[in-house]
Every structure is written in C-alpha cells, then in structure tokens.
Structure 1
C-alpha cells in the first residue's frame, strides 16, 4: 500500500499494490499547472482510495481529461482521463518510499526551453 496527500493534508489517498513505473510529462498544460514537468503513475481506479474528496476540485482541461487539486492548498494530485480505467497520481504527493523509478519522458516536443533532459530514459515527442 502507498499513501499520499496534498501539502496541507486535507486530501489524502492510498493506492494498493505496486506502483506502475511513472513517466514525466513535459506538455505545456502540465508545465503551466505544476510549474515544471509533472511526474505521475497511472494506477487502476480500483486500487485508489481518496479521502477528503469534498476538498478536491476538478478542472476540465479538455473534453477527455480533468485535473484534480486540493481546493485548500492548491496541490495538484490527479490527471484523470475520464473514460479510462486508470487515473494518474502525482509522484510528488506520495509518502516515501515509493520503490518506483521514472520510466520515460512524454511530450518532449513541447518541453520548456529552460531545461535539458539529461538522463538516458526513452523520450517520446507526443
């Protein structure tokens, strides 16, 4: 089991089982919302339990996706492809240890011009 929360603790969550390898998204929406690129793991919805849902606000960023954040402290926690069986959970919101390792970079064609990706992980343009 893996536990996590927003910065203020109003929203907490747990994921049962092993965390799938996370990815780092460099798209402009993730960068604008998080302040940099965003690392997350895609977990089956059935393994995620959220507490404090009354403090969770959802922003519909497209027809297919909504993004969940704490309405008290603003921590961005979830990227939710609405019709999928999986939901992305922010790696930075998990309590350590996660025993997870970044697997790849996505949307690197849209990455910020102020940094370089210097590891040897796979990079996907879109």
Structure 2
C-alpha cells in the first residue's frame, strides 16, 4: 500500500496518509486566501487513513461554525481543514514530501478569488 508522508516546515508535526490521494481542489475563498497568503490546495483524506505524529503541536483555529483549521503551533504552517461532522479531513498539498501521484481537479469559491491573478489552467471553476 502506498504511504504519503508530509510535515510542517519545522518538523514538529508529521503525518502519513495510507493509500492513494484523492484529486485535490484549490479553494479561493477569502478565509483560505487570508490563512495561506494565496489559494489553498488540499486533498480529502478519510480520517482512518491519516496518522499524525506530534499532534500535541497542532493548534486549531475555528474559522467558521462548521470548520476548524489545523496549523503547527511552532512554525505556523497550515496543515489541515477539518469539518468535524465529516468522515474526512483535508490535508494541505504543500505539506506532502515528494510526489503525490495526483493532479488538481477543480477550483472552488472562485467568486472570491483575488484580483491579482488569473485562473487559466482549463480546470472547472465553481463560483462557490
């Protein structure tokens, strides 16, 4: 079975995902842009396939009533988008080490995207 590994910038939080990764999406909503500095690309992972090492270093920020964001409390790297009511958690694509074997498949919340860039990759774009 394939295991994908990743970490925050400082290495205080490390994680493993067992199995193939779902195609990621790119979220252009205002919250993702403010937290990441641009848009946020992530893949949804079933909770039982994610193992987090150094979980005590993860800090959680409730960015809405339905979602919390997980980041490293040491280096500040944004790692997780967690809707606790779902059976999956989104993991930041930029935190994976090496190849992921997947490609971006959609842009979401493009109605909120910044005016300083264009989306010109030909992928589907959802306003919300």
TM-score after normalising by structure 1:
0.99
Count of aligned positions: 126
The 3-state SS of whatever aligns with 1:87 is strand
Deviation per CA, 1:18-38, whole angstroms, max 9, x where unpaired?
000000000000000000000
Which sections of structure 2, spanning at least 5 residues, go unmatched?
Answer: none
Q: Does 1:66 align with 2:68?
A: yes
* CA–CA separation in structure 2 for the residues paired with 1:28 and 1:63: 16
The alpha carbon displacement at 1:82 in A equals: 1.2
- Residue in 1 aligned with 2:124? 122
Aligned-pair Cα RMSD in Å: 0.4
The 3-state SS of whatever aligns with 1:31 is helix
Q: Does 1:25 align with 2:27?
A: yes
- Residue in 2 aligned with 1:43? 45
The alpha carbon displacement at 1:96 in A equals: 1.0
* CA–CA separation in structure 1 for the residues paired with 2:65 and 2:38: 23
The 3-state SS of whatever aligns with 2:23 is coil
Aligned structure 1 segments of 4 or more residues deviating by more than 6 angstroms: none
The alpha carbon displacement at 1:97 in A equals: 1.1
TM-score after normalising by structure 2:
0.98
The 3-state SS of whatever aligns with 1:29 is helix
